Structure 1
């Protein structure tokens, strides 16, 4: 066994129950364990929340979305759309017309986002992660249906069982010169709401999904589209398909995956996770100050032992190694316990949902957690750095003991 480690382990396993240094070492170990456990649990919760948000947005957003680089719409032809469909990896291509419109149901009015989609929109696995009530259908050209967000249905007081009132949509148009007829200033179409979806508040409060032909008539878009949404085949890499589409479409269009469509939100979550990690690491460092004090007191108490070792031929580097390894034993014992307890707590939460969100109509009942190996590695690295910083100064002091004065 390594001599420095052997001596450090003997100091750590001291049997003097009333030795204050031993008690302080145990307190240091508990502090490191609690700090490490908190780091693992909090980072896993942030991972779970990020994963949950991604899955919810993926239920509404396309895997790949094509938009114009300039302006909000672009002209399409069937030949051009077919060339995109022939791109390797493209399984479903959905045409989209999206803009704000005024909606009215009964006596209630609301400005919401109208999203006109082609018939294959529902083939992309939409609303799989959310809550859906009613009929999941967009109807036909003769009888169009609307799928309404829960927030929109609340504001408009939409009742799916009401067969007498229809949802009215209004969209402004350029008035003819000299006309004083108010009806010439807008287009009006009606359709029946048949389904209500709930995915995420941003979508629930804004969106009404309608057939593409309905949006074309209401907005006079003709062959113009605001976006194309693409579902990628399961056996293809989304990143490769995205690169191929960007090369084919050129700089006139942007191609975004689900993360890029909500880059600012995901960046906010990751920044919050980073700042929480830094904050908890500082707390862990404060807890590790006990290691510094316990090793400093140990160096003072063991001056005679150190002098004996030096007189027997021990080098300063050996003395330093003893105290640094003593600090490492304290910190790593606590870190190991903290990592293990944090892992068990996260596993119990993921398996049994011990801590509830406290929201009755939520998509998930309990706090989501997701353990990642990188979090365990960075936490362990933090403990190593903090331990070295806390142990180095006491080890340096101990190595400078004068043999003649303490023998």
Structure 2
């Protein structure tokens, strides 16, 4: 498409010569602007992907991807039969019967707090990677039997608990006695403390063995809910549909993690889209700079264009010369930004550690400390979209100035040049 003649002339026009440095400096700033815009877009999208993946991983690591609960009452009707039916569905990896309820917690030192108790089989709690990685004190190996409990680290700090202390669970439901009514109470021994980096979980959740929870809540051998884990949490909707069809006609409430955390999920998606729009405007502004610099170049080279036309260069050749000038700036800046953004995003962990060491002070409050551990997840499709957008805007920005250059009348240019 571009011959040696067009390439040679375009290169000469882009080089800074005496008296023409302003146009070249403008082109350089255009290149730098589009490079920084593309790089910022790639980096921010990677960090937002990492934030979304980490946040969702923490949420669904503590809870099932799907939850089956009774529409009314506390216990599931024949939970063993329901679990067996759901285990055979495609995409379902694990079905865990659990018991969940609100309790009042009291410690040996007199501290008290409200909490959410979850009864779960010891082997299933140990298999949850978020909890296993988040153990800060004690060990999950001791979780079992009838009197052990795993508590959140912030909850333990608020109540002054240590490993080996007794924690009393008080049910708000009353039970009958000779003296009227009294709350149901049961003591447990603290064997481990976890910290997953989210205050709403670390400061409120506790785990006890499933059998102990069934006895505490008076459910005998029943469960209050089934938690399902699927192969691909991001594609949970088809599995939810299959579960609804398998359990059709039964008085059950089925909720997936996207529905249960719809406000958080929607906020993350909206924030990512807004950041994409804002940073796209930066690239668009840089593309307008290409238009202005190329327009000034066309005006500056009016006599040269007229001379080239009188020497036999056609309008197509002039058009290609200035298209090549603009594409060199725009596409060059896009490719530089692509390399810069991809390099920073793929080495984000090392750069973040260096920044923290240089700063010398925490960048986030303790309750948001997990943000300092966020990964940057590069999505090849998003990077390809950013690259295509940068190249497309760069090429579009060259069309009008190049067309104006090709339409210059040689006689008028020489007469008024």
Q: Distance in 1 between matches of 2:32 and 2:281?
A: 16
Q: Distance in 2 between matches of 1:119 and 1:400?
A: 79
The DSSP-based 3-state class of the residue aligned with 2:98 is: strand
Q: Displacement, 1:125?
A: 3.0
1:319-358 to structure 2, matched below 5 A, reads: 319-350=318-349, 353-356=353-356, 358=363
CA contact (8 A) 1:90 1:232 kept: yes
Q: Distance in 1 between matches of 2:93 and 2:36?
A: 49
Q: Deviations over 1:137-189 (max 9, x none)?
A: 4422xx32111011211121111144xxx21111222677xx9957x153222
Aligned to 2:218: 220
Structure 2 residue 398 is matched with structure 1 residue 387? no
* Structure 2: gaps (5+ residues): 357-361
Structure 2 residue 88 is matched with structure 1 residue 81? no
Cα–Cα, structure 1 residues 238 and 270, in superposed 2: closer, same or farther, change >3 Å? closer
* TM-score normalised by the chain length of structure 1: 0.83
Aligned to 1:134: 138
Q: Distance in 1 between matches of 2:283 and 2:93?
A: 50
Cα–Cα, structure 1 residues 233 and 371, in superposed 2: closer, same or farther, change >3 Å? closer
Q: Displacement, 1:395?
A: 2.6
Q: Displacement, 1:47?
A: 1.5
Q: Deviations over 1:98-126 (max 9, x none)?
A: 12111111311101111122344225334
Aligned to 2:264: 265
Q: Deviations over 1:21-47 (max 9, x none)?
A: 122111211122122222222221112
CA contact (8 A) 1:94 1:120 kept: no
CA contact (8 A) 1:69 1:251 kept: no
* Structure 1: gaps (5+ residues): none
Match of 2:188 among 176, 191, 200: 191
How many residues of Structure 1 are paired with residues of Structure 2 in the alignment? 396
CA contact (8 A) 2:172 2:183 kept: yes
The DSSP-based 3-state class of the residue aligned with 1:168 is: strand
Cα–Cα, structure 1 residues 99 and 17, in superposed 2: closer, same or farther, change >3 Å? farther
Match of 2:39 among 24, 37, 55: 37
Aligned to 1:246: 244
Structure 2 residue 410 is matched with structure 1 residue 403? yes
Q: Distance in 2 between matches of 1:73 and 1:324?
A: 71
Q: Deviations over 1:361-382 (max 9, x none)?
A: 7558644212121232222233
Q: Distance in 2 between matches of 1:326 and 1:275?
A: 33
Aligned to 2:359: none
C-alpha RMSD of the superposition: 3.3
Structure whose residues are more often helix by fraction? 2
* TM-score normalised by the chain length of structure 2: 0.82
Residues 311-320 or 211-220, more deviating: 311-320
Aligned to 1:27: 29
Aligned to 1:167: 167
Q: Deviations over 1:181-228 (max 9, x none)?
A: 57x153222211211111132211110111223323333344654321
Q: Displacement, 1:314?
A: 5.5
Aligned to 1:144: 147
Q: Deviations over 1:339-367 (max 9, x none)?
A: 11222222332456434464697558644
Q: Distance in 2 between matches of 1:90 and 1:372?
A: 26
The DSSP-based 3-state class of the residue aligned with 2:132 is: coil
1:175-324 to structure 2, matched below 5 A, reads: 181=179, 184-199=181-196, 200-222=198-220, 225-231=223-229, 244-250=242-248, 253=252, 261-311=260-310, 316=315, 318-324=317-323
The DSSP-based 3-state class of the residue aligned with 1:371 is: coil
